[in-house]
Structure 1
Amino acid sequence: MIEVKGLHKSFGDAHILKGIDTFFEKGKTSLVIGQSGSGKTVFIKCLLGLFSYEKGTISYDGKIFSELSEDQKRDLRAEIGMVFQGSALFDSMTIQENVMFPLQMFTKMSKSEMEDRADFVLKRVNLDDAHYKMPSEASGGMQKRVAIARAIVNNPKYLFCDEPNSGLDPKTAIVIDNLIQEITDEYNIVTVINSHDMNSVMEIGEKIVFLQYGLKEWEGSKDTIFKTDNKAVTDFVYSSELFKKVRKMYLEEKQ
């Protein structure tokens, strides 16, 4: 579990995060949503240890991050997988080499052991024959699956995804959503997704944290989000006519 208590973060006079309290559980896909400027990207970067913060605590399975030694922080980072918005693959490396990169950084595996592990996770994301291709030879959806394979190659306890469906067509986005949820369930990991994709929220949002102006305005699930009367949430989620119709149908079915 990741637990956040009273988190505050500022840049100069700009107070970005204003006392956020929440938690993220194992085996659940948790989504952090909000408008541009809501603080969600800064929040995720604080969770990852990329940004320091003025007040509050972030705990990984009871270990407070700010109290860890540098060696302990390095050990924790080895337990974190990250899927970047643009996949962030190394253009000069093959797909197999990209996937092996975290193993080279954080383990003492032999080359053959790393190749076996890369082969395993590439098969897990349905890329059996892509090992020796270059990223430029892969479609956007394939690149995203490579990024997921790289994120889980180290068998992480925690998985972070930054806009994993950015730039993907709706059909491929659903494939990526389902893959992330399957891996979360299968490996019983803590998965936190920074997203603006409402389809993802409705498909895999087992926990949803809605940020507005640096505050946690609301949290719940893909089911309870239909029931909320929180105006900030409904204005954000149901800004399109499609989701307004979906909510109306849902509420009518429950009556």
Structure 2
Amino acid sequence: MIVVEDLHKSFGDAYVLKGISTTFEKGKTNLIIGQSGSGKTVFLKSLLGLFIPDQGKIIYDGKPYFDMDDDEKIELRQKMGMVFQGSALFDSMTVEENVMFPLKMFSKKPMDEMRERADFVLKRVNLPDAHKKYPAEISGGMQKRVAIARAIVNKPKYLFCDEPNSGLDPNTAIIIDNLIHEITREYDITTIINTHDMNSVMEIGEKIVFLKNGVKEWEGTKDEIFKTDNEAVTNFVYSSELFKKVRQMYIEEKN
């Protein structure tokens, strides 16, 4: 679990995060949504420790980040997995080498154990035969699966995903969403996903935090988002005709 209390962050005169408080629960897919410029990326990077907030607390399983010494912070980072927007695979490494990279960085396992662990997670993301291929030789959807395998190879407690569906066709995006959701449940990870994809919200949004201009405007579940009267949320969520129809169907069904 990650608890955020009154988080503020500015860059010069730009006041980006304005007192955000929320809780991200373990074993659930927690989504951060909002328009461009809402503060989503700065919020995510603050959770990762890449940005230092001006004020507030980030508490990882009961331990405030700023109360940790250097060794504890290093240990925390080793418990974090990250799926980047563009997959961020190393072009010169094979799939297997990409997945083993965190093991080489953060563990002292012998090579045969690293290969065994890489093989296990590649099978878990349904890539049993891609070990010796290079990123350029596999599809975008397969690259995302490799990125997920790399993110979980060190058995993280926290999984962060930045726009994991970016550049994928709708069917592949759903597969990636479901895979992240399954892994979150299976390994009881605290998963936080930064996304603008409303299909992801409807598919796996167990906890949704909606940001607007650096403020937490609303939070709830994928079911509660249909019920809200918050105008900022409804304008964002139902900006497309498809979701307007989905909401109307939901309202009629409930009535």
Please state how far the C-alpha of 1:217 moved relative to its aligned partner: 0.0
- Aligned residue identity for 2:35: Q
Q: Cα deviation per residue 1:58-106 (whole Å; 9 max; x = unaligned)?
A: 0100111112111111100110000000000001100000000011111
The corresponding residue for 2:136 is 136
In structure 1, distance between residues paired with 2:79 and 2:105 = 12
- Aligned residue identity for 1:102: P
In structure 1, distance between residues paired with 2:76 and 2:102 = 13
Aligned residues: 255
Write the mapping of 1:151-190 to structure 2, written as runs, cut at 5 A. Answer: 151-190=151-190
Runs of at least 5 residues in structure 2 that lack an aligned partner in the other structure:
none
Q: Cα deviation per residue 1:178-217 (whole Å; 9 max; x = unaligned)?
A: 0000000000100000000000000000000000000000
In structure 2, distance between residues paired with 1:190 and 1:152 = 12
Q: Are residues 1:116 and 2:120 paired?
A: no
Q: Which runs of 4+ in 1 moved over 3 A?
A: none
- Aligned residue identity for 2:54: E
Q: Cα deviation per residue 1:15-60 (whole Å; 9 max; x = unaligned)?
A: 1000000010111001000000000000000000000111000010
In structure 2, distance between residues paired with 1:70 and 1:186 = 31
- Aligned residue identity for 2:80: I
The corresponding residue for 1:40 is 40
In structure 1, distance between residues paired with 2:110 and 2:80 = 21
Write the mapping of 1:59-208 to structure 2, written as runs, cut at 5 A. Answer: 59-208=59-208
In structure 2, distance between residues paired with 1:188 and 1:232 = 32
- Aligned residue identity for 1:153: V
In structure 2, distance between residues paired with 1:251 and 1:220 = 17
Q: Cα deviation per residue 1:94-119 (whole Å; 9 max; x = unaligned)?
A: 00000000111111100000000000
* C-alpha RMSD of matched pairs (Å): 0.4
Please state how far the C-alpha of 1:219 moved relative to its aligned partner: 0.1
In structure 2, distance between residues paired with 1:67 and 1:105 = 25
- Aligned residue identity for 2:146: V
Please state how far the C-alpha of 1:154 moved relative to its aligned partner: 0.3
The corresponding residue for 1:5 is 5
The corresponding residue for 1:28 is 28
Q: TM-score scaled by structure 1?
A: 1.00
In structure 1, distance between residues paired with 2:31 and 2:91 = 29
In structure 2, distance between residues paired with 1:17 and 1:227 = 26
Please state how far the C-alpha of 1:139 moved relative to its aligned partner: 0.3
Give secondary structure in 1 for the equivalent of 2:127.
coil
Please state how far the C-alpha of 1:7 moved relative to its aligned partner: 0.1
